[in-house]
């Protein structure tokens, strides 16, 4: 069986979070989505569990971070092209995200980042396949 990854993120308003990521073109797995959680399908075997803050808090004894002031993680996703990076980030910005920094453009590597409406930091990155071939 292939390994799977589930990134768990607390959200203040699950409906708003689901609407935001749906507008980016993502889907939710209804089998693992309810009033407390949305299973965001990011790719084959890659998921983000968007959990209401009270539900998320049941998994950790620590306080939730203030994502408007701190960054606890960066969710980085690959893109097929520079254009796809721009498409995703521009769509995110048009739907309530805020741009995070000026991005990176090193020729064979290109990326941009944004904070989603809950303050989580997402990065879309493209790398020229010829630059990473052995």
Domain boundaries, the chain: 1-64, 65-134
Contact 37, 55 (CB under 8 A): yes
Rounded Cα distance between 81 and 78, Å, is: 9
The fold adopted by the segment(s) 1-64 is: 2,3-Dihydroxybiphenyl 1,2-Dioxygenase; domain 1 (3.10.180)
In sequence order, the 6+-apart residues with CB closer than 8 A to the CB of 28 are 18, 21, 22, 38, 39, 40, 41
Question: Could you check whether 1-64 and 65-134 share the same CATH topology?
Answer: yes
CATH 3.40.50.1980 fits 65-134, yes or no: no
Which helix (DSSP H) or strand (DSSP E) does residue 84 occupy? helix 82-94
pLDDT (tens digit, 0 to 9) for every residue of the chain, 134 residues total?
889 999 999 999 999 999 999 999 999 999 999 999 999 999 999 999 999 999 999 999 899 989 889 998 999 999 999 999 999 999 999 999 999 988 999 989 999 999 999 999 999 999 998 887 65
Q: Tokens 């407390």 appear where?
A: 36
Q: Is the pTM of this model over 0.85?
A: yes
Contact 131, 109 (CB under 8 A): yes
Instruction: Give me the pLDDT at residue 133, please.
Output: 67
């Amino acid at each position: 069986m292939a390994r799977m990854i589930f990134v768990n993120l607390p959200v203040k308003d699950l409906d708003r979070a689901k609407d935001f990521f749906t507008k980016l073109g993502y889907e939710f797995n209804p089998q693992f989505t309810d009033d407390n959680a949305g299973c965001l399908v990011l790719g084959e075997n890659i998921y983000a569990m968007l959990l209401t803050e009270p539900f998320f808090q049941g998994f950790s004894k620590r306080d939730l971070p203030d994502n408007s002031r701190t960054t606890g993680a960066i969710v980085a996703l690959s893109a097929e092209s520079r254009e796809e990076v721009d498409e995703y980030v521009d769509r995110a910005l048009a739907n309530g995200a805020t741009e995070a920094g000026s991005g990176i453009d090193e020729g064979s590597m290109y990326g941009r980042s944004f904070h989603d409406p809950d303050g989580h930091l997402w990065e879309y990155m493209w790398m020229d396949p010829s630059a990473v071939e052995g």
